[in-house]
Amino acid sequence: MRRGLNASTSAGAAGRRLAPVLLAILAVFVPAGARAADEVFTVYDVKVDVTAASARDARVKALDEARSAAFRQLLERLTVAQDHAQLPEASPQELVDAELSVEVAREKASSVRYIAEVTYSFRPELVRDFLRQHGLSYTESQARPMLVVPVLVQQAAGDPGTATESVLLWEPENDWAPVWVAPRFRSGLLPVVTPLGDTEDLLKMTGEAAREADWTALEPLASRYGVGEVLVAIARVTHSPDGRAERVDVELRRVRPDGEELAVGAMEGPSAPAQPGQTRAPALSRDLAVAAVDMAMAGWIEAWKDRTLVSPGEESRIAATAIFHGGLSDWTAIRTALADDANVRASEIKALSATGAEIELSFAGTVEQLALTLAQRNVSLSVLNGLWLLEAGTQATGLAPSAVGPGERPPISQVFATPFAAPPPATAAIPGESEDWNRALGNVDPERARMAPIPSAAPGTAGQ
C-alpha cells in the first residue's frame, strides 16, 4: 500500500532517493536537435518544365534543376534578405549529398518534354555545415504556429448598376481556404495551422464577424486549437470585365491577447481556368494568392529572422533547473521542447527528483534567443534568485530577466529544495507510469525533495 505524502520516511539516503524505475523513465532523453520531422528543410512544389532530346533526358534535367532551385529557396528561407545576393552556389555533388528525399507530383511527359512539381527534403546537418563553411548567419527556428481564419470577399452582381459583397469563411465555395492547406505554410519560419471548418467552428465564428474580430471574439477558436495567436487572412478578388485576369488583395491581421499587427500584399495576373471535372472556375488563382501572401508576410518573417539569427561558431552553455509543477507531464514537455529546439546542441541531465531536474545545456546563439525559441514550445527560461529555471506552461514569454554566468551558480546540492507536491491525476503518458510514480512518492522526502544523481549505466547496458 502506498504511503501518504505526510508519512514518515526511512532515515538516510532512502528518504531522498528516487525509485530506480522512475529514474529510468525520467532519464530517457531524446537527443538534442533530433526532431520528428524537419519541415523547415523541406521545399515543396518546385515547378519544372523542361524540353530535351528524349523524355528520359528531360526528366533527369528537370530533377537537377528542381534540386538546385529548391536548395536556393531553402538557403533564402534560412538567411536574411540582405544576404541573398551573396548566397553561394552549391556544386552538383554537394546538392546530391544534401538531398534526403524527393517526391514528384502532377507529372506530365511527352517524347521530349517533362512537366512536374517536385518536393525536396534536405539533410539538416549538411545544410548547416554548408552555411557555416561560407560564414553565413542563419536561423531554422520556427515561431509558435498561428491559427489561420481565411475570409474570402468577392464582388457579386446585384441589381443593375450595383454590386454587393459576398463574404465566405466556412462555405464550400471559399477557394481561399484550400490555399492555406498547402504544406509550404507549415514548413516556413512562421507556420500556420488550419481549422477543421466543422459545425463547432461554424458556431464560434462567421465570416462577417471574423473581418473585424478582436482577441475576445477569436479566443474560443484559439483555445480549441491550442494557439496563442490567430491570423485573420482576408482575400479580396477583383476580375477583369472579360474574366481573363484578376487582382488578389490580401490583408493579414495577426491578433493576439496584447494587440494585433497588419500586413498587406497584392498580385495581378491571369485568372485560373476551370479544371477538368470542375463545374465552375476557381474564385481566385492559387498562384496569385500564394504570391500575395508571401509579399504580405515578408516583413514579419524578416523580423523573426533578426530575433533568432545565429552566427557561425556562436555557442553558449548554462546549467538550468527544470521544475515540474504538473508532475511527469511537465518533464515530458520540457524534454520534448529541448529536443525539438534546433539551437540546442547538447543536453546532459545531472540530477533528478520527482519535482525537478538539473540539466546542463549547450546551445547556439544567446540565452535570450534560447528563451525565445523555447517559448514557442510553451517552455519558459527565466532567472529567479540567480538560478536559470525551466518551466512548462502556456505563459512562456521567452524573456530572460537577467544574465547569470555558469560560474555564479551554486552547487547542485544547494539548488533544489522546493516544497514537494503530488502530481495531478492522469499525468501518466504511457500505461504503468502512474504506478511507478506513486511507488516513487514513498521514497521522496516531502520536506526537501532533493535531487538524486543519475546512476551510471550498468556494464553492457549503454545505448540500450
Residue 456, sorted as left (phi over 0), alpha (psi -120 to 50) or beta, turns out to be beta
Structure confidence at residue 429 (pLDDT): 36
461 vs 261, residue with greater confidence: 261
If pLDDT is split at 50, 70 and 90, which confidence band does 327 have? confident
Q: Which residue has the cell 512548462?
A: 392
Task: Decide: 321 and 358 in contact? Cβ < 8 Å.
Answer: yes
Burial bucket for residue 456 (CB in 10 Å: 0-12, 13-18, 19+): exposed
pTM: 0.76
Quick check: 29 pLDDT over 70? no
Q: Which domains does the chain have, with CATH numbers?
A: 12-17+314-453 (no CATH), 39-133 (3.10.28), 146-308 (3.40.50)
- pLDDT(215) > 90: yes
Q: Dihedrals φ, ψ of 286, to 5°? A: -65, -40
Q: How confident is the model at residue 403 (pLDDT cuts 50, 70, 90)?
A: very low
More confident residue, 351 or 85: 85
Whether 393 has a pLDDT exceeding 60, the answer reads yes
- For residue 414, name the pLDDT band (cuts at 50, 70, 90): very low
Please give the radius of gyration of the chain, using alpha carbons only, rounded to the nearest integer: 27
Provide the CB-side half-sphere exposure for 303 (13 A, CA).
Answer: 8
- CA 82, distance to chain mean position in Å, is 24
Report which of 128, 66, 127, 72 is spatially closest to residue 98, judged by C-alpha positions.
Answer: 127
Residue 43: the pLDDT is 96
Q: What is the band of 156 on the pLDDT scale with cuts at 50, 70, 90?
A: low
- The least confident of 14-23, 69-78, 86-95, 216-225 is 14-23
The whole-angstrom separation of Cα 1 and Cα 19 is 15
The grid coordinates of residue 17 equal: 532517493
Average pLDDT over residues 19-25: 46
347 class by beta-carbon count within 10 Å (0-12 exposed, 13-18 middle, 19+ buried): buried
pLDDT for the residue numbered 163: 56
Rounded mean pLDDT, 311-330: 85
